[in-house]
Structure 1
Amino acid sequence: MATEEMMVIGIAGGTGSGKTTLTNRLKERFGDEVTVIYHDNYYKRHDELTYEERCLLNYDHPDAFDTDLMMEHIRDLRAGKSIQCPVYDFTVHNRSDKTVEIHPTKVLIIEGILIFENKELRDLMDIKVFVDTDADVRILRRILRDVKERGRSLESVVDQYLQTVKPMHEQFVEPSKRGADIIVLEGGQNVVALDMMIQRIYGHVYGTHVK
């Protein structure tokens, strides 16, 4: 696949903003024509630390991610090469030994809270979408997700939110929306924005508009 044939879409926004819902709806609509890679899977490996020490790391700072590896993988996909995407295990706060082979497709979606913070990474994207959602809604969604899906205690989720998530959002995530082409309220629940993105992707994949 030639480089120019791949459309790269970045979907950013704060924790619990609705990024994944929007991404999933696009993936459901276009199936195998769309590949998704998550910035979360590129958290740096910390085998040298104990679990307790890893729990204390700031996972909402740009330095927590191996963004250079992610950019290398995006360039490989655009060049028509497959990649071995790392897999992050949130239950142990560390990258696992597994990787997932990802093949190039016509559309690549990159999702993450901080993907617009890095200009070099932003420049690899054709469309940049920032999902903007009220802070109260986001924290409630994060609590439900981390307790149900990631095995965290309510106390640990609230502590992490107050100590790192909220201040890092204000320092890095919120300002990064200036790098977006489109700001979408409420993510996948925003039917108008979703329809607009479907039209754009459909035109790129099939060379025509949705009928």
Structure 2
Amino acid sequence: MSHKKHPIIIGIAGGSGSGKTTIAHELYDQFKNDRIRIITEDSYYKDHPEMTQEERDQINFDHPDAFDTNLLISQLQDLTSGKAVEMPIYDFPTHLRKHETVHVEPADIIILEGILVLAIPELRDLMAIKIYVDTDDDIRLIRRQRRDMAERGYSFDYIIDQYMATVKPSYHQFVEPSKRYADIIVPEGGGNQVALDMLTTKVRDILRRNDLEEQKEE
């Protein structure tokens, strides 16, 4: 296996509902083997069991301080060093970290996707490829509403209140400005087949390079 040779991290950022998760999974589906992993920034929200549910509901989840970035960086470094990690699981209805974890084995390609992965310098420094998914604000809001009601059990009023109070301001303060750090900007979200084809080709090149280097060492 070449997992310990030259694993790389591909960062995929963009606003909530931009399509970054779709791109990450479509890229993963092109290979469907043990050589590529997806790490989601959402899994690394800080755990606040000392707070009440009402207090946790008021957290700005679109601010860099909401994330346990130190743990995320540590686990990414472990993965690129050939070590397995236990990725946390975040429960969105309660805003608490679950006791269970997800066991993640190292791989040649680590896809890191999340709203702020390009906004944090320490994360950017770990990335070989930086991608920003650029999607119209109205489309992102509609997608977020559908997802949060269907998957996270949020009410319509809570979603809109949260969007106006924290999501929209934080997008303009933290997320959108991080676009300038991207190597590739993908318009039209997850529906951009040209961008997906380009990324797939790049990943294949990386895997091919790792295979060649492994053969040279045998």
Task: Tell me the TM-score range normalised by the shorter chain.
Answer: over 0.9
Take 2:96 and 2:85, find their aligned partners in 1: how far apart are those partners? Answer: 20
Amino acid paired to 1:12: A
For residue 157 of structure 1, the aligned residue among 153, 156, 159 is 159
Q: TM-score, normalised by structure 1?
A: 0.95
Answer whether contact 2:18 2:190 (CA < 8 A) is retained. Answer: no
Q: Residue 201 of structure 1: CA displacement?
A: 0.3
Q: Residue 207 of structure 1: CA displacement?
A: 4.0
Take 1:103 and 1:188, find their aligned partners in 2: how far apart are those partners? Answer: 26
Which residue of the partner structure matches residue 71 of structure 1?
A: 73
Which residue of the partner structure matches residue 177 of structure 2?
A: 175
Per mean C-alpha deviation after superposition, the further-off stretch among 168-177 and 26-35 is 26-35
Take 1:189 and 1:72, find their aligned partners in 2: how far apart are those partners? Answer: 32
Is 1:124 the counterpart of 2:126 in the alignment? yes
Deviations 1:120-158 (A, max 9, x none): 110100000000000000000000000111101000000
Is 1:52 the counterpart of 2:54 in the alignment? yes
Which residue of the partner structure matches residue 110 of structure 2?
A: 108
Take 1:176 and 1:200, find their aligned partners in 2: how far apart are those partners? Answer: 22
Give aligned pairs, total.
208
Take 1:10 and 1:4, find their aligned partners in 2: how far apart are those partners? Answer: 19
Q: Structure 1: which 4+ aligned runs deviate by more than 6 Å?
A: none
Answer whether contact 2:129 2:183 (CA < 8 A) is retained. Answer: yes
Which residue of the partner structure matches residue 28 of structure 1?
A: 29
Q: Residue 97 of structure 1: CA displacement?
A: 1.0
Amino acid paired to 2:197: D
Q: Residue 188 of structure 1: CA displacement?
A: 2.1
Q: Residue 95 of structure 1: CA displacement?
A: 1.1
Amino acid paired to 1:14: G
Q: TM-score, normalised by structure 2?
A: 0.92
Answer whether contact 2:19 2:190 (CA < 8 A) is retained. Answer: yes
Q: Secondary structure at the match of 1:31?
A: coil
Q: Kindly, what percent of the aligned residue pairs are identical? A: 50
Amino acid paired to 1:185: P
Take 1:49 and 1:191, find their aligned partners in 2: how far apart are those partners? Answer: 44
Take 2:24 and 2:122, find their aligned partners in 1: how far apart are those partners? Answer: 22
Amino acid paired to 2:133: V
